[in-house]
Amino acid sequence: MTITLEYNGKEYKLGFTRASIKQMEQDGFNFMEAQNYPATLAFSLIEGAFRTYNPKISEDKIYEIFDSLERREELVSVLMEMFQEPLAILKSPEGDEAKEKNVPWKVI
């Protein structure tokens, strides 16, 4: 599952791979612990999702784009689901229920 969004004429793809999750965890991110700190969780997920497919994007650019989005809380909720998907798929057939389509997202 990936998210695509267009900002200033440029298309950005957001999502997670196992490698990007590994990198986030090596940088200190722990999904279980982070759930106690919603703001930190959200920031980490947003940055991680952007950097998976846009490794050279700056932090300022990420938040410039994020601030321009509508339904930001919903986006974070979807990112939480997406973050867990790579593990869920490995664990059991139930994980296969994860969506395989791109989630449309609009910029204000």
Partner 1 sequence: MEGNLNPSDKKPLMTDAFEAACPLFMSYGMTYDEFWHDDPVRAKYYREAHEIVLEQMSFNAFVQGRYVRDAIADFIEFYAMTSRPKVGKHYPEKPYPITDRAKRIAEEHREEEVANRYLKMLGAKRNGNND
Contact residues: partner 1, CB under 8 A: 1-2, 15-19, 21-34, 37, 40, 43-44, 47-48, 51, 59, 85-87, 89-91, 95-96, 98, 100
Residue 5 or residue 52: which is nearer to partner 1 going by CB? 52
How far is residue 59's CA from residue 43's CA, in Å, rounded to a whole number?
10
Angle between helix 38-53 and 72-91 (nearest 10): 70
Residue 7 or residue 31: which is nearer to partner 1 going by CB? 31
Length in residues, the chain:
108
CB of 107 to partner 1, least distance (A): 22
CB of 50 to partner 1, least distance (A): 11
CB of 65 to partner 1, least distance (A): 15
Residue 40 or residue 77: which is nearer to partner 1 going by CB? 40
Phi, psi of 106 (to 5 degrees): -110, 150
* CB contact burial 31-49 (16+ within 10 A = b; e otherwise): beebeeeeeebbbbbbbbb
Place of tokens 């793809």: 13
Residue 60 or residue 73: which is nearer to partner 1 going by CB? 60
